[in-house]
A and B are shown apart, each in its own frame.
Chain A
Amino acid sequence: MTSFTVDAYQNEYLPLGGSEVNAIVTVTSDGAGRPAGGPDAAEVVIVDTSGSMGAPGAKIKAAREATSAAIDCIRDGVAFAVIEGRDRADVAYPDGMRLVPASAQTREEAKRAVAHLNAGGGTAMGKWLTLAGDLFATEPGRICHAILLTDGQNQSEQPEQLTQALERVQGRFQCDCRGVGTDWEVSELRHIASTLLGTVDIIAHPRDMAGDFQAMMEKAMGKSTGNVSLRVWTPQGATVAFVRQVAPSIEDLTDRGVVVNELTADYPTATWGSEARDYHICIDVPPRDAGEEMLAGRVTLVEGDQPLGQALLRATWTEDRHLSTRINREVAHYTGQAELADCIQEGLEARKHGDPATATFKLGRAVQLAAASGNDGTLKLLAAVVDVDDAATGTVRLRRDVAIVDEMSLDTRSTTTVRVGSSTV
Chain B
Amino acid sequence: MSVVCPSGHQSQTVDYCDQCGARIGAGGRGSATDPGATSTMFPVLEEVDTSPAIRREPCPACGATRSGDDRYCEECGYDFLLPGAVAWEAVVAADRAQFDRHSVPGVTFPVYYGERRFILVEGENRVGRSRGQPDEDVPEIDLAASPVDPGISRVHAVIERCENGGCVLRDVGSTNGTFVGDEPAPIPPHTDVPLADGQRFHLGAWTTITLRRR
Interface residue ranges, A against B (CB under 8 Å): 13, 233-238, 263, 285, 291, 293-296, 298, 312, 316, 318, 320, 323, 389-390, 392-395, 397, 425
Contacts and interface: CB of A to CB of B under 8 A. Distances in A.
Contacts of A263: 18-19
A251 to B, nearest CB: 27
Given A392-B132, A393-B146, A294 B16 contact: yes
Given A393-B144, A393-B146, A294 B131 contact: no
B132 to A, nearest CB: 4
B23 A294 contact: yes
14 contacts: A13-B44, A235-B20, A291-B29, A294-B22, A295-B16, A295-B22, A312-B15, A316-B42, A320-B44, A392-B131, A392-B144, A395-B146, A395-B150, A425-B134
A373 to B, nearest CB: 14
B48 interface: yes
Contacts of A397: 106
A316 B13 CA distance: 19
Contact of A393 (B21, B106, B148): B148
Nearest to A315: B21
A291 B43 CA distance: 10
A395 B148 contact: yes
B168 interface: no
A237 B20 CA distance: 8
Interface string B138-162: 0000001110101000000000000
Contacts of A237: 20
B41 A293 contact: yes
Contacts of A13: 44
B45 interface: yes
A323 B44 contact: yes
Interface string B44-71: 1100100000000000000000000000
Contacts of A233: 18
Contacts of A238: 21
Interface residues of B, number: 25
Interface of B: 13, 15-23, 29, 41-42, 44-45, 48, 106, 131-132, 134, 144-146, 148, 150
A13 to B, nearest CB: 8
Contacts of A291: 29, 42, 45
Contacts, number: 60
Q: Tell me the dominant secondary structure on chain B's binding face.
A: loop
A295 B131 contact: no
B48 A320 contact: yes
B21 A235 contact: yes
A285 B21 CA distance: 10
Given A293-B41, A318-B45, A323-B44, A235 B19 contact: yes
A240 to B, nearest CB: 14
Contact of A294 (B21, B29, B146, B148): B21
Given A291-B45, A320-B45, A390-B148, A296 B131 contact: no
Chain B CB within 10 A, most for which of A236, A312, A320: A236
Given A236-B20, A295-B23, A320-B44, 12 more contacts: A235-B21, A236-B21, A293-B23, A294-B22, A294-B23, A295-B16, A295-B17, A295-B21, A298-B13, A392-B144, A395-B146, A395-B150
A295 B18 CA distance: 9
Nearest to A389: B150
A320 B48 CA distance: 8
Contacts of B148: 390, 393, 395
B142 to A, nearest CB: 12
A296 B21 contact: yes
A397 B106 CA distance: 9
A312 B144 CA distance: 41
B48 A236 contact: no
Contacts of B18: 233, 263
Contacts of A316: 42
A425 B132 CA distance: 9
A401 B48 CA distance: 59
Nearest to B16: A295
A69 to B, nearest CB: 45
B65 to A, nearest CB: 14
Contacts of A323: 44
A420 to B, nearest CB: 18
Chain A CB within 10 A, most for which of B20, B41, B131, B145: B20
A18 to B, nearest CB: 15
A119 to B, nearest CB: 48
Given A390-B148, A392-B131, A393-B148, A294 B20 contact: yes
Contacts of A235: 17, 19-21
Nearest to A318: B45
B88 to A, nearest CB: 28
Contacts of A295: 15-17, 21-23
A316 B146 CA distance: 36
Nearest to A371: B132
Nearest to B48: A320
A397 B16 CA distance: 54
Chain B CB within 10 A, most for which of A235, A237, A296, A312: A235
B209 to A, nearest CB: 19
B16 A394 contact: no
B69 to A, nearest CB: 22
A311 to B, nearest CB: 12
